[in-house]
Homo-oligomer: A and B are copies of this chain.
Amino acid sequence: MKKSEFGFIGDIAKLCSTLPHNGFEPIGDDCTVVECGAGEAMVFTTDMLIEDVHFLRAASSPEEVGEKSLMVNISDVAAMGARPVATLLSIALPEAAQGEWAERFMQGYCEASAREGVALVGGDTTASRDRISINVVAIGRAPMSNIKRRSAAKVGDAICVTGRLGISSKGLVDIMFGDLNTAAAKAHRRAQARTTEGAWLGKCEEVHAMMDISDGIASDIKHIMEQSHVGATINLDAIPTDYDIRYAVSGGEDYELLFTVDAAHVASLRQALQHETDTELSVIGHITAEEELVWMDKGERVELELNGFTHF
């Protein structure tokens, strides 16, 4: 359960703690984890997409919404070091979307599922009054020893990311300005989850904490800090991006992986990841003992503010 929205989530966590756990790990990661079979884990995550909040029918094709509904969920499975195996899909449709829109949505959802090797095992379809609601649950499996938790970062770990950041939030700005056809706008509408990389990194013992970047590094690294009781120093000039650094730092929906690695093994891990998946690994900082977030730029400490950052 993400803690990002509404004050009452704090109360939910409190309420939850009064309930039995039945073998499920408490809320706090990208997915919940349960042991099933000797040494085997199953992981679960859910995300809801609401029309006019998460997508606009005028700006995204039905196929793109279908693909994205799947991707945001299996990205959370990948972030645990697990392999996505199945999803359940619920969709509420106003009358105007019950024909062609629904069919094209399913086409996008199923094509992406086929590409990722994920089954569609259940769901619910219903009517709604005027807006589309979509809910996806993704299920993943992995050996329990592969599961990566936000709480596993160690002092001295290198902080790493896959790929290049900022393109999705740059694309959102393009869309807001009516530029629907820029490369960034397309990337925003067609997020790709790092499923191969996530499952591969799950097998690597030198990878400690892992999560996916859904709200931007500035916000997401704090979850690892809180859960691991550590601090972090991040070098802005080391963040891989082709856009204004602010998109990479505070913009969301990149769905790249953010993870910490035993510093002694990071060079060989970078080489191996590149070789196995053709995906770039960048070291953007390191984990510290003091529980604060420090930003550096070209060797100097900088203060990061909501509207960018200023030098000390």
Contacts and interface: CB of A to CB of B under 8 A. Distances in A.
A83 B169 CA distance: 43
Contact of A103 (B8, B51, B52): B8
B103 A137 contact: no
Interface in A161-206: none
Interface string A27-58: 10001101011101010111110111110000
Copies in the complex: 2
B85 A52 contact: no
Interface stretch (A87-95, A220-228, A241-249, A266-274): A87-95
A151 interface: no
A31 B86 CA distance: 13
A68 to B, nearest CB: 15
Given A12-B106, A44-B88, A50 B129 contact: yes
Interface residues on A, range: 35 or more
Interface string A116-129: 01111111111111
Contacts of A98: 6, 8
B11 A124 contact: no
A9 B103 CA distance: 9
B88 A19 contact: no
B40 A129 contact: no
Contacts of A42: 36, 42
A113 interface: yes
A131 to B, nearest CB: 6
A85 B23 contact: yes
A306 interface: no
A128 B103 CA distance: 24
A208 to B, nearest CB: 22
Contact of A32 (B19, B54, B99, B122): B122
Contacts of A31: 122
Contact of A19 (B110, B127, B133): B110
A120 B16 contact: yes
